[in-house]
Amino acid sequence: MMKKKIKTALISVSDKNNLKPLLNILKKNKIKIISSGGTYKEIKRLKFNCLEVSDFTNFPEILEGRVKTLHPKIHAGILNKREKISHLKDLKNNGFENIDLVIVNFYPFENTLKKTKNHKKILENIDIGGPTMVRSAAKNYNDVAVITSPDQYEELIQELKKFKGSTSLNFREKLSRIAFTETAYYDSVISNYFNKKTNTIFPRKKIFHGNLIDQLRYGENPHQLSAIYSRNSNMNLKQIHGKQLSYNNYNDIFSALTISRSLPKGKGTVIVKHANPCGVSAKNDHLESYKSALSCDPVSAFGGIVSCNFKITNDLAVELKKLFLEVIIANGFDSNAIKILNAKKNLRLIDGTNYTSEELFKFVSFNQDIMIQSEDLNIFAKKNFKVVSKRKPTSKQLKDLIFAFNVCRYVKSNAIVLASNEATVGIGSGQPSRLDSCQIAINKMKKFNLQTDNLVAASDAFFPFVDGIEKLVQSGVRAVIQPSGSIRDKEIINFANETGTVLLFSKTRHFRH
């Protein structure tokens, strides 16, 4: 077990919560306490004996407290190998003593970033001494225990009770692993702050950090391990009902939220299945919006996820209850809606009111390799598109075309979206052939009897041949929006003019793989 007796502890914490139970166990085991600054004052306020760091080192704090624990007596006391004769001689010759327990948590750099943009204040909240002591103790875990969070106090207390003031090697090694993770996380936040401040998008070395939100039951399939992490301590997604979320649930939730947040504030319903939208509507009336999104593909919606860009009330809850759904996301639920939907025991209800998309980059990993790209978050306006046909769109057609093009960029490529009255009526996704995607979208529309005189179509990339747009026009499409860039763009324009079809070109392509 390699138990090590603790005789001296150094405590320096920014988070001063729950110190009393810890101090009680240290006192009971006659452990000497060294501390400094606000921690020293708090320990004295709690009426426990404590030696100030400057008295321990016989060296005053200098540089407004920037240098206090960065002293050979501190680090030699932590880092020395207790069983190595040369180390013992060095300590004796310099009048140093062992420090067996280090309890440190860092200046709240991450919280400071949330509170201020003042660079000078941010710099002053970069902890130097704390991480240095933690790294020293973690390296020498064979002899020293290191605590980096109040969450660990109870475990330390139980360890000291169990081994009568000593700690076991397994315990110290576990604490060391956690400590190095804490210092790495802390430094990664600082690194990312400086990259952001200097507008360094792709630094030579990229550091990622995240907090474990949940260890999921499994991944996409039962034989795969899975967990979800967030840059925040929580994801600002509040689950208010239902069983644990799965990997696939989260994948669909993020897809649904991305589309929802691209729609006008306070309106819009999105239904997602396997990370693809199967129905989207931006109608003003919330109940009508849901029914319209559902009608696009009620078969695929079964077992899907609904995301509402508004608060769900009684009438909509009654409709939602009729369909088997995995997850419903909304900007809140009124009490009647919760009561109605809670009747479905396994249905997950997610309040996404506080969810924000702060990070503008997307990560895709394979084995040891990671690709990063900026997200496709362009806000579309009339100026982004050029009418290239002789026939000009009506204001209604233009609105529907931009709506369809916006939805299209969130559909897996190759993507075709048919829409009318700001609602999808047919979606073709994920096909190697754009012509096949056209046919799927048309088939969906016909299957659910959604043909209309006001039909528009959007494509996520250009039509390489006339056959795609021809198929759409033959199905009743009166206006088409697509990116330009094909060597046959003129042929597409000529076909539009020959058939009296409205044609708009976008300068940007919108693949989503």
Tell which residue, 354, 307, 340, 298, has the closest CA to residue 326.
Answer: 307
Instruction: Please identify which of the residues 16, 139, 311, 396 carries the catalytic annotation.
Output: 139
Residue position matching structure tokens 């899907």: 304
- Residue 40, by phi and psi: left (phi above 0), alpha (psi -120 to 50) or beta? alpha
Residue 221, amino acid: N
Tell which residue, 215, 280, 216, 213, has the closest CA to residue 248.
Answer: 216
The tally of CA atoms less than 13 A away on the side-chain side of residue 349 is: 21
Concatenate the DSSP letters of all residues of 20-55 into one string.
HHHHHHHHHTT-EEEE-HHHHHHHHHTT---EEHHH
Q: Is 274 an annotated catalytic residue? A: yes
Angle at 171 between CA 170 and CA 175, to 5 degrees: 115
Q: Which helix (H) or strand (E) holds 437?
A: helix 434-447
Query: Which residues share a beta bridge with 327?
Result: 305, 348
Q: Are 11 and 129 in contact (CB under 8 A)?
A: no
Tell which residue, 28, 29, 47, 36, has the closest CA to residue 10.
Answer: 36
Residue 261, amino acid: R
- The tokens describing 337, both together, are 């809606």
Q: How far apart are CA 38 and CA 105, in angstroms?
A: 13
Q: Taken in order 64, 66, 69, 70, is the CA torsion positive or negative? A: negative
CB burial class (10 A; 0-12, 13-18, 19+) of residue 244? exposed
Q: Is 513 an annotated catalytic residue? A: no
Contact partners, residue 162, CB within 8 Å, separation at least 6: none
- Residue 114, by phi and psi: left (phi above 0), alpha (psi -120 to 50) or beta? alpha
Q: How far apart are CA 157 and CA 122, in angstroms?
A: 34
| Backbone Cα Rg of the chain | 31
Instruction: Please identify which of the residues 174, 274, 396, 399 carries the catalytic annotation.
Output: 274
Q: Which residues are catalytic?
A: 139, 274
